[in-house]
Structure 1
């Protein structure tokens, strides 16, 4: 059954600062932290082409509820940096999932709620599926997010193909050059297409867009969109993880899936198509007047879902 929750607000002018840094696996990760250090941990993972400010309202809401809130910049974004110049600038799904666990290890966090959308939702879903002992619960947008690379070349209905223009563009060297030359321009078009009911302004956009100035942004983004279609190899260090993901593992932890009713790239559903992949799912919710960047567009709905999965886990 699909629940409906309504929430929309004007973009916040706040910033998530100051940032902290920690060496975690192959990265030095820049992250924002709020709330008591002894509180239940929540990892909030952002997507493409966004940054940690997708959680500018969610983070303080959860901190006020006593949570230890961690909001990292993903690989290729903001101040997060590769520790070794020789490390492949991979954006594959196994890499972003592994980064989540490496961050937890570096911060000494045993278990946390994993929450995210877009790339961040995929990282959260992978963490929940492959490391359930580390996951209190999952909040994720757009259903089951683990990529089925073996079937990536099966065409979708035409109305579903059109919004994916940027993914096809990035398969070409022209697309790589275009992203390098027009990071902000491409992102702003995608924001408008993906969230048609969200009235973001130039200041809101620019607060995030500086994250795309990371020197690894283009390489990581291009690799991500080429790897998901099986046209480039992954980083060998993640090969075993990717083989596990190829089985499309189920997610057994308490979970709430969310769809923005106005999502212009991943169309809203009733959640039934992927329901079998969630053996512990609590609910699928449709959020009116929200698009793809759901936590920034509807922060109350997103934060409430995090608290609900946390309470469900505690109740056993």
Structure 2
């Protein structure tokens, strides 16, 4: 693995690049409140299959890519960061995989920059147009989205960091017994208790109002796989079902019955298998 730093418009991103140098590129976008370490279990499986992975610590998570203004965390900026990382590595297009907020960026890239996205594998989070539709009409999604209202509040970061970051630690342990090791939890907590990290990560919620005006991503034309966990309380069944209406390219929905929201860590074999299946299907037509 090569750990590199990529400068983009005054910001510097920490990026892990690994796998065969001639492998097809796979961009791995982490979610909240994680970082590129969330791909530790999945990435080696992709390398073994001949793929080359690019995993950045995204805006707000890389210490030197942490602008102060909330507006600087809007999705167009987050997507531009991802494309800038690919540009810096000389990658014209990639298979894009995103988890949680990383999936939101991945959906945006696929909808708005389809020429740069060979395939999309979205983990845990549906197309955000489908999510917002469900929030407007579905009581289940409205209930499931209550946590977002808290995360955009001014006191959210202080809440998580109080009492030795007790609530932040609890956020990671809620993944379930054995999903994250004690060492992994300790590293995540240490990362997010560093000055400014958690507040910057929460700016993703503040800048992109999931519960407000429509984001209007538009349709996705690239081959897409959406992996949904039925036990994930953040997303309603309607949002999941509605996602297919926003994908005009080849589409597959995989529902995991027992895996939690933390798919890359808890079930890396299935996640890697779905990515590989999508990549192989793409190869057959290109």
**Shorter-chain TM-score category?**
0.7 to 0.9
Please report the TM-score for the alignment, with normalisation by the length of structure 1. 0.78
After TM superposition, the structure 1 = structure 2 runs for residues 1-316 of structure 1, keeping only pairs within 5 Å, are 19-77=3-61, 79-82=62-65, 90-142=72-124, 144-146=126-128, 154=136, 156-157=138-139, 159-181=140-162, 184-193=165-174, 195-196=175-176, 199-229=179-209, 246-267=215-236, 271-316=240-285
Structure 1 gaps of 5+ residues are 1-16, 233-242
Greater share of residues in helix: 2
SS of residue matched to 2:97: strand
| C-alpha distance in structure 2 between counterparts of 1:129 and 1:268, whole Å | 22
| C-alpha distance in structure 1 between counterparts of 2:249 and 2:211, whole Å | 34
Shift in CA distance, 109/189, structure 1 to aligned 2, threshold 3 Å: same
SS of residue matched to 1:167: helix
Deviations 1:93-114 (A, max 9, x none): 2222221111111111111000
Aligned residues: 285
| C-alpha distance in structure 2 between counterparts of 1:22 and 1:219, whole Å | 22
| C-alpha distance in structure 2 between counterparts of 1:177 and 1:184, whole Å | 9
- Considering only aligned residues, what root-mean-square deviation do their CA atoms show, in Å? 3.2
2:46 and 2:272 in contact (8 A); partners too: yes
1:197 and 1:291 in contact (8 A); partners too: no
2:179 and 2:265 in contact (8 A); partners too: no
| C-alpha distance in structure 1 between counterparts of 2:168 and 2:146, whole Å | 13
Larger relative CO (CA 8 A, sep 6+): 1 or 2? 1
Structure 1, 159-168 or 287-296: larger mean CA deviation: 159-168
Structure 1, 195-204 or 55-64: larger mean CA deviation: 195-204
